[in-house]
Structure 1
Amino acid sequence: MQGTDTGPSLYGVGELSVEFQLATGRMPLQAQGPQAPQKSPQFTQPQIDAMAAYVQSEAPGPTFPSDEILDGEGDVAHGAELFRVNCAMCHNVSAAGGALTEGKYAPALTSTSALHIYAAMVTGPQNMPVFGDMNLSDDDKRDIISALLFQQESVSVGGFSLGNLGPVSEGLFVWIFGIGGLVAITVWITAKSN
């Protein structure tokens, strides 16, 4: 539990962190790097649950939330506002993720489960800060989870999302296809007139 030169200490991490790291495939770590990438888990869910329970019994820490926090029935508008204020600077306002410094990145939350959203807020994996009860109450966390689950299920009303990366990707799309189309039409008209 105390860790080694190549592995962190597990004292105080609790079952929530263990479940998050193993179920998202971040652990066991394949190679040292700026950030552990998400990949397919190497253990079954019963094995993950057993390891999480063992760590919780030996090194207690954050535990699983009540089902109410994960139910997606919170205040979506308030959750979206809290997400924009606390999370969007890294995860993007549309939860599409984004690049950080030194080869690190904030992962996309477009298909993340409610449990893993909560676990990330409470345990602060890798580059993410811990959002304790002094920062965000359980009701606030429920609202953020509800907003993200709502966003995962909603349909893009504006047509193509273009990766939800904002005006840069949209502007590039217009320049490449819009201006390119105008040039092609101009060449065609010129060729027809000759």
Structure 2
Amino acid sequence: MRPRLSGTAKRGTARTSTAARKGGRRHPLATVALLAIGLGLTGGAYAAFTTTTASAEQPQVQSATKSSVDEGQKLFQANCATCHGMNAEGTTNAPSLIGVGAAAVDFQVGTGRMPMQMQGPQAPEKPVQFTDEQVTALADYVASLAPGPSIPEQKYLAGKGDAARGAELFRVNCAMCHNVAGAGGALTEGKYAPALTGVTAKHIYEAMVTGPQNMPVFNDLNIDPQGKADIITYLKYIQNNPSPGGFELGSLGPVAEGLFLWIFGLGAIVALTVWITAKSN
């Protein structure tokens, strides 16, 4: 037979059981804390993986000598600091250049877009104001401020990629602004996508990784380096080979072709009609 507990003993046992349950109960914020820790670990792992992948795909940063960096700093302070600040930190007139990398400087200065002559919707291409050595020095100085896209490796610029794959990538990512033949086109508010005829392979690659003017950035996670090389191959192919359809009319598409037909085609029909009528009279 079980021994019967007194009332005092029962109350003591109940208090002990209640205390045990209270001691084992989770804090109301424990679930929230666990979720926060899990999300933090997941986000950190994803960021580390993304950074590692992007770093592995980026072309190797070219080593710059201290003399080149020092020369670039002098050129920058004499020609660029008025708008971009003495330390490239940016001002109300121009953005910061910290982290834009050597590729952005090589493109903007190497195509004459910088320094700008005047403020406008976008910087137009014009004669280059610096020598190749000075452009390299400026790029080395800006690259020394913070990591950023580097000048592409020569193996991606040779134009020996897959032109068919490059054509597909170009149609999907670029043709809506630059035209399927790279002839360029108008955008809103006085902006425009320039023609790609005659642009060097290096500057095309740099434009893709830096996104100058109104162009989006196509990093190596969007289009890998070989994909960029394929796009360059396609552009060089259509530039060096005649159009199979005959006279291109500037490669401006159906608008230019329709205008040509209306002006010259219809005009020729009207002229022929007038000539026939005059001859019959």
Distance 2:181 2:231 in 1: 13
Residue of structure 2 in register with 1:96 after alignment:
183
Asked if 1:5 corresponds to 2:92, the answer is yes
Whole-angstrom distance in 2 between the partners of 1:59 and 1:38: 26
Structure 2 stretches lacking a partner, 5+ long = 1-87
Instruction: Please say if residues 106 and 151 of structure 2, whose CA atoms lie closer than 8 Å, have aligned partners that are also in contact.
Output: no
The alignment yields a C-alpha RMSD, in angstroms, of 1.0
Counterpart-to-counterpart distance in 1, 2:145 and 2:98 = 8
Deviations 1:115-173 (A, max 9, x none): 01100000001110000111101111111111111111111232221111111111111
1:156 paired with 2:243, answer yes
Residues of 1 paired with 2:145 and 2:258: CA distance? 54
Take 1:65 and 1:44, find their aligned partners in 2: how far apart are those partners? 19
Offset of 1:33 from its aligned partner?
Answer: 1.2
Residue number among 131, 151, 159 corresponding to 1:72 in the alignment = 159
| 1:33 alignment counterpart | 120
Please say if residues 118 and 141 of structure 1, whose CA atoms lie closer than 8 Å, have aligned partners that are also in contact: yes
Counterpart among 209, 212, 222 of residue 125 in structure 1: 212
Amino acid in structure 2 at the alignment position of 1:66: E
Higher-RCO chain (CA-CA 8 Å, sequence separation at least 6): 1
Distance in 2 separating the partners of 1:88 and 1:115: 19
More helix by share: 2
Match of 1:55 in 2: 142
Q: Are the equivalent residues in 2 in contact too, given 1:10–1:59 (CA < 8 A)? A: no
Instruction: Name structure 1 gaps, 5 residues minimum.
Output: none
Structure 1 position 2, deviation (Å): 0.5
Once the two structures are superposed, what CA deviation does each residue of 1:32-69 show, in whole Å capped at 9, x if it has no partner?
11111111111111111111111112233110122111
1:184 partnered with 2:271: yes
Q: Deviations over 1:4-45 (max 9, x none)?
A: 222221100111110100011110011111111111111111
1:66-112 deviations in whole A, cap 9, x for unaligned? 21111100000000000000000010111000111111111110111
Contact preservation (8 Å) 2:121, 2:189: yes
Distance 1:65 1:184 in 2: 56
TM-score by structure 1 length?
A: 0.96
Match of 2:231 among 141, 144, 149: 144
Structure 1 runs of 4+ with >4 Å offset? none
Matched, 1:81 2:81: no
User: Which amino acid is the alignment partner of residue 28 of structure 1?
Assistant: P
The residue identity in structure 1 corresponding to 2:213 is Q
Residue 81 of structure 1 aligns to a residue whose secondary structure is helix
Is the CA contact 1:79–1:147 (under 8 Å) kept in the aligned structure 2?
A: yes
